[in-house]
A and B are shown apart, each in its own frame.
Chain A
């Protein structure tokens, strides 16, 4: 499990909403590794302003994952802001991920 928080940059104070994400992965399974990479890329591109990402390894914390309603891995939850959303898969479908997270593509 690892927590990475990117603090919002002070000069971009008008975007104060912090996106809280939680990604459930299964150890070093290929899909899980890809999901982490894909999500980090998206965050770097679109959520520079501020986001919180928690990566939970289901193999290490199966009970917690079960309690939190995880079924398949990898699985991404957007906990805040509302509405909450859930995305499953290795997040290779960038368009779907961004739709679910409520992000607008650049220059679009």
Chain B
């Protein structure tokens, strides 16, 4: 249990999200720190990615190390790789004694890695065919004295420093006698220590208990024991490596994932966790403008983008658009698809206005289609790694990444998916992967491969089904280092390519497709109606206003006339009074009456009137 957790811790540590990376050196401080002081044991680096870190420097020099494991666990590759690395990097010749396979087979198998093995085999490596012919008759006891004498002569001749005995367990079946076998193994050990050779012995071991019985003494005999394990997980195997013994040295005792890369065995979570990918601030188009706007200007160069969604949510279309945008910028792009021919993908993409054929012709774009049936995730990793090295793309699409988990164990596929993404990121390639999510809704956004945690940007595509329609919705779930949009957008496909539309929310529900269109139409009709109403009202008001002001004018005219009349009447009253007193006095004068008799009379006259 503990060992498992450690393996994971290291993985997490690689992400830089946990400080588990310091733990290994903390575990055995007394010896781990010995690296800086006097080292009690001289070691020879194996050159195997990760193993030298776990073993604090490699295998013990001039001593014997044992690699045990089941069939296909990688014992032969491990041993051979040590020899190859010694020969290539340190010019240390080596001898490979093949008990199980013929040297021709071993060389042919090793030629699948990028070691240049056939060339090395001629110069720096010697392969001894210890593969006993089936026609051989055994008549009595035998020993290895002669073989060791021959090997000693060969070692003298070529100055070998490494020696590997591959499949030493074959001796057991030949000797048919445990005592004789033990005798020969001790003979071997003594010979090795006399010869000052660094030796690797491999032995098959089926299961843990069986191996313990047969090889207990073998494990006591050697100075370092490495156990390789290959477990079946979901029809495909997952490999692990564990150092179970290292005399006189500290080591990481956990079980670590092991995989076969283009350069041979790599032990998982091995790259120094402090290696960081260069963080570029350059933004690249994710395909089309509105998506870039949502992403705050596009994706960062060298970042990884994950697009998840159930089948038919146009993941491939977005991937195609991304690649097209890259090619338009003049960048080299690689499009890896699974179980669908490149031609078919290009035809389908051209129906939505994404034209890739011209870019393929100009060699800006490489389309690669791989089969998934019966191919393990590790094989995919090897192939993709080789493609990347060969083509050196700047932008890359894997559509869908989940295809690598199709045949085989999920656990292995997860490791591989992680490694693949890191490998591509290490090369500074801007990566876009799509991943199929099997279920919609709760948890449907997560993928089986659990890669969402290592992707920098995560775009999720989903369906919204309502009123007999299925509409695509796009959400950005995360985008590291970017103030991205939190809005759900409708993804609309047309001849001109994908585009994004705002969605309507009405009564707490998101409207898309026809409903959105209806809503839009309704909204615009409403607007027209409203405008007409306003116009009408304005005219009405204008009319009323004109009416009122006309009324005001008429009234004013009326007022003025009345005022005039009024003033006229006021003047006439005075005239009348004046003229009547004048007429009275005139009358009186004409009658010849007394001149004015005083006011009393006058009053009396007035009163009489």
Binding site for B on A (CB under 8 A): 24-27, 29, 31-32, 34-35, 38, 58-59, 62-63, 65-66, 69-75, 85-94, 96-97, 99-100
In the complex, what residues of A have CB within 8 A of residue B154's CB?
Answer: 62, 66
CA distance A29 to B149 in the complex (A): 12
B111 at the interface (CB under 8 A from A): no
> Does A62 contact B149, Cβ atoms closer than 8 Å?
yes
Q: How far is the CB of B143 from chain A (nearest CB, A)?
A: 5
In the complex, what residues of A have CB within 8 A of residue B145's CB?
Answer: 26-27, 29, 31-32, 58-59, 73
**In chain B between 125 and 157, which residues have their CB closer than 8 angstroms to a CB of chain A?**
128-130, 132-133, 135-147, 149-150, 152-154
Would A97 and B139 be within 8 Å (CB), given that A58-B150, A59-B149, A71-B130 are in contact? Answer: yes
> Does A89 contact B149, Cβ atoms closer than 8 Å?
no
Q: How far is the CB of B116 from chain A (nearest CB, A)?
A: 25
> Does B138 contact A89, Cβ atoms closer than 8 Å?
yes
> Does B150 contact A66, Cβ atoms closer than 8 Å?
yes
CA distance A26 to B144 in the complex (A): 9
> Does B136 contact A25, Cβ atoms closer than 8 Å?
no
User: Which 7 A-B pairs have CB atoms at the shortest separation, nearest pair first?
Assistant: A73-B146, A89-B140, A26-B145, A62-B153, A58-B146, A92-B140, A96-B139
CA distance A69 to B147 in the complex (A): 10
> Does B137 contact A96, Cβ atoms closer than 8 Å?
yes
Once A and B bind, how many residue pairs between them come within 8 Å at the CB atom?
Answer: 109
> Does B150 contact A87, Cβ atoms closer than 8 Å?
no
In the complex, what residues of A have CB within 8 A of residue B139's CB?
Answer: 87-94, 96-97, 100
> Does A90 contact B137, Cβ atoms closer than 8 Å?
no
Would A31 and B141 be within 8 Å (CB), given that A66-B150, A71-B147, A72-B146 are in contact? Answer: yes
Across the interface, name the chain A residue whose C-beta is closest to B130.
A71
| Interface of chain B, main secondary structure | mixed
> Does A100 contact B137, Cβ atoms closer than 8 Å?
yes
> Does A88 contact B137, Cβ atoms closer than 8 Å?
yes
Known: A25-B146, A90-B140, A97-B137. 15 other contacts (CB 8 A): A27-B145, A32-B145, A62-B149, A62-B154, A65-B149, A65-B150, A66-B128, A66-B150, A71-B130, A73-B142, A73-B143, A73-B145, A87-B138, A88-B142, A96-B140
Across the interface, name the chain A residue whose C-beta is closest to B128.
A66
Which of B136, B142, B143 has the most C-beta atoms of chain A within 10 angstroms of its own C-beta?
B142
Interface string of B155-184 (1 = CB under 8 A from A): 000000000000000000010000000000
In the complex, what residues of A have CB within 8 A of residue B146's CB?
Answer: 24-26, 58-59, 65, 70-75
CA distance A24 to B133 in the complex (A): 17
In the complex, what residues of A have CB within 8 A of residue B141's CB?
Answer: 31, 34, 89-90, 92
Q: Which of A66, A73, A87, A94 interacts with B136 by CB under 8 Å?
A: A87
Contacts A/B (CB < 8 Å), 21 sampled: A31-B140, A31-B143, A31-B145, A59-B149, A62-B149, A65-B149, A70-B150, A72-B132, A74-B142, A75-B142, A86-B137, A88-B136, A88-B137, A88-B139, A89-B138, A89-B141, A90-B139, A91-B139, A91-B140, A93-B140, A94-B139
Q: How far is the CB of A58 from chain B (nearest CB, A)?
A: 4
In the complex, what residues of B have CB within 8 A of residue A99's CB?
Answer: 137
CA distance A48 to B584 in the complex (A): 207
> Does A38 contact B140, Cβ atoms closer than 8 Å?
yes
CA distance A96 to B138 in the complex (A): 7
In the complex, what residues of A have CB within 8 A of residue B136's CB?
Answer: 86-88
CA distance A58 to B145 in the complex (A): 9
In the complex, what residues of A have CB within 8 A of residue B174's CB?
Answer: 72
In the complex, what residues of B have CB within 8 A of residue A72's CB?
Answer: 132, 142-144, 146-147, 174
> Does B153 contact A66, Cβ atoms closer than 8 Å?
yes
